Structure 1
Amino acid sequence: MKLSELLDLFPNIKLISGSYTSDDKIEFVRTDSRKLGPNDLFCLPDSSGDKGAEYAKAASSKYILIGSKLQIPKLENKIVLRTDLDPESLAGPIASIILDNPSSKLKVIGVTGTNGKTSLTHILAYLGESQGKSCGIIGTTGVKFKGILSDTGYTTPDPSSLQAILKEMYDSGVEYVFMEASSHGLKLGRTNGVQFKAGVFSNLTQDHLDFHPDMEDYLKSKALLFSSVASYPETFGVIDSDAPGGKDFKSTVEVSSPALKLFSLGRNSGEFEIHSESFSLEKTSYLIRLSEVWGGDTKITTNLLGGFNVRNTALAFVTALGLGWDKRSLLSALESIPQIPGRFQIYYSKDRSKMAVVDYAHTPDALENILKSIRESKPKELIALFGCGGDRDKSKRPKMAKIAQELADKVILTSDNPRTEDPESILDDIQAGFSSGYSPMLREVDRAKAILYGISHLKEGGCLLVAGKGHEDYQIIGRDKRYFDDGQEIQKAFGSFHQ
């Protein structure tokens, strides 16, 4: 893209220093200074704060776009541009234009919510593949398409990387992309420039209050996905209006995007309603009430266990119907969905007399959901093992203790990415949520020792829930990132792990 074209396409970008000719060309756009090429445009995020001037001066690129609040000295041999918006919010649209708008040639479905995003994207991609569609996933567990999995380090990648991923997917023949849209990514504008076909909302419960000032801001950030969906023709949204935060979210979307076609999953929605659930350790089944247009009441059976997977599979099913996929083959595919990494992932002892579940549950609502779902399978004993991340929202710690005490038979407290906080202090904060006189089965900051203890003391027919890390294969202790895998530690304790 020529610099002159950029200035024509984005009138809110102005030249403030340096001069250019008709030959000046921007190769790409970046928000991360470490990835800059000499002819890239560096969109310096407002979040850089006081270090912004330092980053601008040290940038290896010729072109720099800064926000209205940043004051920098004149930089030799650089062309400096200014905008009254956060430069990070423009990186996606600029990158999309440079790459010939890859999302416009794909069907991108954004999934947002506190819990369930990863499960939903994986379920939808599997359903799509069962329909003969080529699908890609972007989210917490990485980027996956054409059998290749790569890690980005973020649920929603930075805007220029996201556009490059979409371009690579399109070039490889991908048709559908199922993308987790985190509140961080939406609020910071990482998804700007993405053309969505549909948006899906799962639920909204307490999380990320170290980033959002309050729950209202958290909700509004999530709703930005549906505003983006509504800006394109022939799009739709799917909302679980019975989920926590669902009614408020639906009301927000109806006000901000009144013309957007919405499918609502809920008792009073008049469209899609779940009833007659049945649970076991082998399968989950339920009826979903559909309008006659969709074929009337339909029974869904799935190998995914637990009440929250009823919601996940129902949302995926409704989304798939909205995409026009074949109902009969969808019902067949739902019966045998591959295990989703770190989401109700089951491990058995060699004689299958004991069970452990690894789940990413790291919020009060998620912990409550997974414990209730395991309870529905009627284990003879349920031990909950969990911790809370360091340098993160502290208010959820005692809440998770209260939930674990109420729903589990026994509780083990341990570390979960303590980062720069004292691990024992984190456990003190959690333990403050127990009722007077209650003591955990074990308090052990070494997560491997805690898992071994839990497995060693588990009764036959019992289940150990190892919550909080899910798919993550590391522990962050201090500033060190060390390899650690809950599933492997469980297998070692069961005596079934092999290198």
Structure 2
Amino acid sequence: MRHDRPTHDKHWLSLNLPPPVCGRFPEKVLSLSDDSRQVENGALFLIRPGEGFRWEFVDEALDRGASYLVADRKAFAEIDSRPALSSRICESAGLSLVENLPRAVGQLASSWWGFPSSFLKVIGVTGTNGKTTSSFLTRSVCRAGGLPCGLIGTVVFDVGHEETEAPQTTPGAIRIQSLFAESLRNGLKSVSMEVSSHALDQDRLAGTNFSVVHFTNLTRDHLDYHRTMEAYFEAKRKLLMWENPDGSHPVAVVHTGDEYGARLAKELERDGRRVLTYGEGADAMIRPLRVDVGLSGIRGTLRTSRGEMSIDSSLSGHYNLQNILGAVGCGEALGLSMEKIAEGIHSLPGVPGRFERVDSPTGFSVIVDYAHTDDALSNLLSAVRPVTRGKVITVFGCGGDRDRGKRPRMGSVAGRLSDFVVLTSDNPRTENPESILDEIEPGLRETGTPYVRVSDRKSAIFEAIRRARPGDAVVIAGKGHENYQILGKQKIHFDDREIARLALAESSR
């Protein structure tokens, strides 16, 4: 097992790759990369054709000193059709062909770092909503239970020395395995990670050994990528049906209050897998008995597979009760005591950009949340409504270049559960912001709820706070922890929480 930066010899190459189709294995490879810009002298370079790929990247990798290359067998015809490139590969390096390159990348990366996940308790959570809060809760539970725990997810990467801003929910295969290795080097015993449907569909987790896999729910999202709900479900299903490299299976923690979760639980049970179910139904193994959910937190008693346990959490909202139940299941799957699980839940003060309250001296509440699907927005506003004496004023939009079908659905949810809506931009990307609002508007208009269109997000937040009165709640949804906005191809600094504070300061003058 290696925790530092490894190098490998041709014996390692012969164990992990098919024989060369041209050239020969080098005596030693010094690094592993699938990005030609990061190739160093002596690197093993993985050729990954796809969106944005150009064959010039292979030349760049060779220019930078790549000593051996790996490609998908399907790409060989493309290489062979470029005589100059083919000759250069064979003369200055060498080439192996694999049947499934995305899967091979993960397996190679795992082997490269000495199979680091097999020495960790890796807990992977997937689902449309709740992944981030669930991963934070699970990290807190592991820490309380004596398992120093890292975090890989949408908000931050934490591998034991400091938290860094996450560039994406689930990174590429090489990066994932290097993060596991770094976690080990820093003395961690476990890692709680979010697993996106894109990562599962693209085999980024290949080579990973999971101890626990957790399914939260499945609602409409990412259909710009998956096209159908069934394809989206099949991507998520891969994690729950996971087989580890050694042939073992992780414990599955499944929310059976969700229809897709109920399907998964039945399939897992038929296959003889160990499953811990949670939800509010009487048949769920982990369920609430007597629980109070309020703006100040969630407190009460749960039924678990090992008996009753008390919880006291500062998280708000009924949907966070589901996240807590799932974290209890993950703790049980790891064999942690109920006392330590409860301690971990209690010790988590909150999650950045998830039902995050912005201090307001004005007598009304300001809540920033990442909710960017119709289900997440419904859960959020349903949590705010019962604890708000006055009006619920919602600021939201929809991302550009993403699933357009959810836009009117989100408009309908906002209208049904708000007293006033400020319709605005999210990350419009390359779409016209006004055109996005045009597609949200029909669902909002049919509810009869009054609203205004303010496409500039900063102005929209100022407008909502200007309208608020004591007892009201201003809910700013869609971006949560994000500190940027994407306009066209440009990413600018933008943080809903900062803008809300500016607007509150102005309103209190």
TM-score, normalising length from structure 2? 0.90
Correspondent of 2:253 among 238, 261, 266? 238
Unmatched segments (≥5 aa) in structure 1: none
Q: 1 CA distance for matches of 2:353 and 2:16? A: 44
Q: What secondary structure does 1:451 align onto?
A: helix
Q: 1 CA distance for matches of 2:56 and 2:501? A: 48
Kept in 2: contact 1:199–1:229 (CA 8 A): no
Shift of 1:149: 1.3
Correspondent of 1:262 among 275, 291, 298? 275
Bigger shift: 208-217 or 462-471?
208-217
Correspondent of 2:124 among 110, 113, 117? 110
Q: 1:111-260 alignment to 2 at 5 Å? A: 111-146=125-160, 148-228=162-242, 232-233=247-248, 235-254=250-269, 258-260=271-273
1:312 maps to 2:323: yes
Cross-structure match for 1:7: 14
Shift of 1:331: 2.1
Kept in 2: contact 1:29–1:91 (CA 8 A): no
Kept in 2: contact 1:223–1:253 (CA 8 A): no
Q: What secondary structure does 1:196 align onto?
A: coil
CA deviation map 1:228-250 (0-9, x unaligned): 25665473110001025211233
CA deviation map 1:19-67 (0-9, x unaligned): 345x2x2223222222222322222224348x35333233232322111
Question: Which amino acid counterpart does residue 374 of structure 1 have in structure 2?
Answer: V
Correspondent of 1:454 among 442, 459, 464? 464
Question: Which amino acid counterpart does residue 27 of structure 1 have in structure 2?
Answer: L
Cross-structure match for 1:389: 399
Question: Which amino acid counterpart does residue 260 of structure 1 have in structure 2?
Answer: R
Question: Which amino acid counterpart does residue 29 of structure 1 have in structure 2?
Answer: L
Correspondent of 1:95 among 100, 105, 109? 109
Cross-structure match for 2:455: 445
Q: 2 CA distance for matches of 1:4 and 1:229? A: 27
Shift of 1:460: 0.8
Q: What secondary structure does 2:481 align onto?
A: coil
CA deviation map 1:62-119 (0-9, x unaligned): 322111222112141231221221x222112111112111111111111111111110
Q: What secondary structure does 1:308 align onto?
A: helix
Q: Could you say if the C-alpha distance between residues 453 and 159 of structure 1 is closer, same or farther in structure 2, counting changes exceeding 3 Å?
A: same
Q: 1:331-480 alignment to 2 at 5 Å? A: 331-351=342-362, 353-436=363-446, 438=448, 440-480=450-490
Q: 1 CA distance for matches of 2:164 and 2:347? A: 25
Q: 2 CA distance for matches of 1:275 and 1:75? A: 70
Question: Which amino acid counterpart does residue 409 of structure 1 have in structure 2?
Answer: D
Q: 2 CA distance for matches of 1:261 and 1:319? A: 12
Cross-structure match for 2:73: 68
Q: 1 CA distance for matches of 2:506 and 2:243? A: 47
Q: Could you say if the C-alpha distance between residues 263 and 88 of structure 1 is closer, same or farther in structure 2, counting changes exceeding 3 Å?
A: same
Kept in 2: contact 1:205–1:244 (CA 8 A): no
Q: What secondary structure does 2:29 align onto?
A: coil
Cross-structure match for 2:48: 45
Kept in 1: contact 2:397–2:437 (CA 8 A): yes
Question: Which amino acid counterpart does residue 32 of structure 1 have in structure 2?
Answer: D
Q: 2 CA distance for matches of 1:159 and 1:30? A: 10
Question: Which amino acid counterpart does residue 265 of structure 2 have in structure 1?
Answer: K
Cross-structure match for 1:54: 56
RMSD across aligned positions (CA) = 2.2
Cross-structure match for 1:330: 341
Q: 1 CA distance for matches of 2:32 and 2:134? A: 31
Cross-structure match for 1:82: 97
Q: 2 CA distance for matches of 1:40 and 1:217? A: 36
Q: 1 CA distance for matches of 2:415 and 2:19? A: 58
CA deviation map 1:145-177 (0-9, x unaligned): 435111341111111111111111101101110
Shift of 1:223: 1.6
Bigger shift: 277-286 or 169-178?
277-286
1:30 maps to 2:19: no
Question: Which amino acid counterpart does residue 97 of structure 2 have in structure 1?
Answer: R
Q: 1 CA distance for matches of 2:145 and 2:455? A: 46
Q: Could you say if the C-alpha distance between residues 135 and 438 of structure 1 is closer, same or farther in structure 2, counting changes exceeding 3 Å?
A: same
Q: What secondary structure does 2:125 align onto?
A: strand
Q: 2 CA distance for matches of 1:280 and 1:219? A: 32
Q: 2 CA distance for matches of 1:48 and 1:88? A: 14
Q: 2 CA distance for matches of 1:472 and 1:205? A: 22
Question: Which amino acid counterpart does residue 317 of structure 1 have in structure 2?
Answer: V
Q: What secondary structure does 1:228 align onto?
A: coil
TM-score, normalising length from structure 1? 0.92
Kept in 2: contact 1:186–1:225 (CA 8 A): yes
Bigger shift: 171-180 or 223-232?
223-232
Q: 2 CA distance for matches of 1:179 and 1:128? A: 12
Unmatched segments (≥5 aa) in structure 2: 1-7
Shift of 1:209: 1.0
Q: Could you say if the C-alpha distance between residues 453 and 344 of structure 1 is closer, same or farther in structure 2, counting changes exceeding 3 Å?
A: same
Q: 2 CA distance for matches of 1:488 and 1:48? A: 35
Q: Could you say if the C-alpha distance between residues 34 and 142 of structure 1 is closer, same or farther in structure 2, counting changes exceeding 3 Å?
A: farther
Shift of 1:14: 4.5
Cross-structure match for 1:302: 313
CA deviation map 1:448-470 (0-9, x unaligned): 11101111111211111111101
Q: 1 CA distance for matches of 2:9 and 2:390? A: 68
Q: 2 CA distance for matches of 1:436 and 1:93? A: 51
Correspondent of 1:283 among 294, 297, 300? 297
Q: How many residues align structurally?
A: 485
Kept in 2: contact 1:30–1:91 (CA 8 A): no
Bigger shift: 383-392 or 273-282?
273-282
Kept in 1: contact 2:454–2:460 (CA 8 A): yes
Shift of 1:124: 1.3
